[in-house]
Structure 1
């Protein structure tokens, strides 16, 4: 695009010199992006010592075969052209009251007196995306119910998981305590128990005999 614009500018300068008129083209805005149905204003500015040049706006649309053909822009209630001057610079203006998608294209000025085309400004009209899914109220209610159910699951499942883990941990602690008790009983010798019981019985018998001997 830059190479094409530079080439057009060089050709335009050559045409101006050959016509004998002193015209200096200002830099055009490369592109303008506008929302659908909004206002758009295009300009082609130049400097010249003579009176304002007569200009005609052309648009290069992009047809299906890929070849851009310049077409004069027709004035209408929605499209108007004019001039403005500021600081020695004259600008031809093209104003769209409400742009349409079909208005997209490369807009260029043609100076009738000098036989010069400006590099031009590409106008891009964009349309926001529309909702492609049209849901009924019943469907929306079902979606809300499904979301509530999923939210409930998100709350209950972690709680149930923690509860199960707590029960498993408690069962493991009980099992560990039972094993420790079994290990304690297994560590005791039955012969030692019998000897202890015999010694205890002898002590009890001796105490009883001493008590009987002390009585008159």
Structure 2
């Protein structure tokens, strides 16, 4: 691209020099770039103002070499015409472009060194598909991808729920073992005697009637707490 930038600068300088020598000729702007697929058709245009209609199409390649473009039957068609505004234009049409058609195309007035800015046409070859799939196959692949994605979401969630349930069961077993260990250290005889003492104290009351005891026995014997 740098080579074509330098080439465009040369073209502009040459055009300026030509327009200075021929003040009546005005170069109109061209389409700067055109990208065309291989074997497709392409059309380029150049226009002058106050200039004769005798001009030719020239092509500059990557190495800045200039080639005259000739019409070759129906593959390349060149025409010239005038517009109501007094402009003289030329058109070149490629029926089926090839890779070697890539280059900068300019119009040149005959017997002068006046060139239009030109149009750089790039011919490209589209990439071929390595795998050709039908629409039904594509839909099946998308469906399988959706199912796999759903499984990737549900499987970890199910694993977490299962682990939390197992941890809860282990916790309940641990609590049950601790309760068993608490009751294993107790003596049932001691528990029964302590229970009897509590029942007897509740039946007799926390205080004894000292007057009644003195009348019956004549002695005071208080129960030790």
TM > 0.5 between the two?
Answer: yes
Shift of 1:148: 9.2
Q: Is the 8 A contact 1:106 1:123 kept in 2?
A: yes
| Pairing of 1:1-216 with structure 2 (within 5 A) | 1-2=4-5, 4-18=7-21, 20=22, 22-48=24-50, 52-62=52-62, 67-75=63-71, 76-86=73-83, 87-133=85-131, 154=152, 157-158=155-156, 160-182=158-180, 184-185=182-183, 192-196=190-194, 198-199=196-197
Q: Which of the pair has the greater relative contact order for Cα pairs under 8 Å at 6+ separation?
A: 1
**Counterparts of 2:5 and 2:153, CA distance in 1:** 59
Q: Secondary structure of the residue that 2:16 maps to in structure 1?
A: helix
Alignment length, in residue pairs? 194
**Counterparts of 1:99 and 1:57, CA distance in 2:** 16
Shift of 1:71: 1.4
**Counterparts of 1:183 and 1:123, CA distance in 2:** 93
Larger radius of gyration: 2
Q: Is the 8 A contact 2:38 2:96 kept in 1?
A: yes
Q: Is the 8 A contact 1:21 1:114 kept in 2?
A: no
Q: Is the 8 A contact 1:100 1:125 kept in 2?
A: yes
**Counterparts of 2:7 and 2:185, CA distance in 1:** 100
Q: Is the 8 A contact 2:7 2:64 kept in 1?
A: no
Distance 1:16 1:153, change over 3 A: closer
Q: Over the residues paired in the alignment, what is the CA RMSD in angstroms? A: 3.9
Distance 1:199 1:117, change over 3 A: same
Shift of 1:47: 0.6
Shift of 1:154: 3.1
Q: What is residue 217 of structure 2 aligned with on the other side? A: none
Deviations 1:55-93 (A, max 9, x none): 11121223xxxx231111121312111123222222111
Structure 1 or 2: more strand by fraction: 1
Q: Is the 8 A contact 1:39 1:98 kept in 2?
A: yes
Structure 2: runs of 5+ lacking an equivalent: 202-225
TM-score, normalised relative to structure 1: 0.68
Deviations 1:138-170 (A, max 9, x none): xx9xx89x9699568636733651353143233
Q: Is the 8 A contact 2:107 2:116 kept in 1?
A: yes
Structure 1: runs of 5+ lacking an equivalent: 204-216
